[in-house]
Amino acid sequence: MSGQTLTDRIAAAQYSLTGSEVCRAVCKATTHEQTAPKKKHLEYLIQATQETNVNVPQMADTLIERAGNASWVVVFKALITTHHLMVHGNERFLQFLASRNTLFNLSNFLDRTGSHGLDMSTFIRRYSRYLNEKAFAYRQMSFDFGRVKKGSDGVMRTMSVEKLLKGMPTLQSQIDALLEFDVHPKDLNNGVINACFLLLFKDLIKLYACYNDGIINLLGKESPLNFTFMSRYLHHCLDG
């Protein structure tokens, strides 16, 4: 399917009539076209998160509403747009997502229509779980592992052991959820999943950097808590 559908145009027009340019941009970023969300719409939404007069909860709620669509393309693009804003938007967007009791409830999502529907539905379920885990990690830690400073004077390298006991398992859970996406080269057969894969790949690099900093920090401290954590971590690895 190429080009915007009549449904896409009607949805965008409805928000134009209500005066919500942000919601209109969300609709345009999440059309039925089997391509990645357009850069101009993503950039508009990123800038919108920086504006104090923009209703960020309304923006997030519109994305979540779009993720309730029956089409795998619309749902996938809603998740990608949300992920993009979590990474590049103002932190208050992520703060709002983390404050919600529920984010994406797509564990049973299935689209049997159109090309790629069944295959892409599997990745949508996995991707939504990762984004839920990313938001939960922010709620637990009050920061985003992907945004914090890395290296010798970074957050994880200078964190106390007590905080690491909370932070490292939370970080591990986020990494596990990302790796469970489990995509293979043959699956990267359209612009939508390719855009998702790129975001996940960049996240994984940052998460592993944080994890490396945390392990270096722990190994450099002589504390009974250190051995407690390492024991728990080994049990986690054996159970996994």
pLDDT in tens, 134-186: 999 999 999 999 999 999 999 999 999 889 989 999 999 999 999 999 999 99
What is the average pLDDT score of the chain?
A: 89
1 located within any domain: no
- Structurally, the chain folds into a number of domains equal to 1
Where do we find the tokens 């309730």? Answer: 68
**Residue 154 is assigned to a structural domain of this protein:** yes
What gap in Å lies between CA 230 and CA 179, rounded to an integer? 22
Write the CB contacts of 69 (distance below 8 Å, at least 6 apart in sequence).
30, 75, 78
CA torsion through residues 36, 88, 205, 120, sign: negative
Residue 208 lies in a domain: yes
What residue numbers bound the domain in which 206 lies?
A: 6-239
Which CATH number do you get for residue 24? 1.25.40.90
Residue 75 inside a domain? The answer is yes
- The confidence score (pLDDT) of residue 3 equals 60
What is the pTM assigned to this prediction?
A: 0.87
Which pLDDT value is given to residue 239? 60
- Domain assignment present for 24: yes
pLDDT for 22 equals 93
Please compute the mean of the pLDDT values over residues 24-53 and round it to a whole number: 95
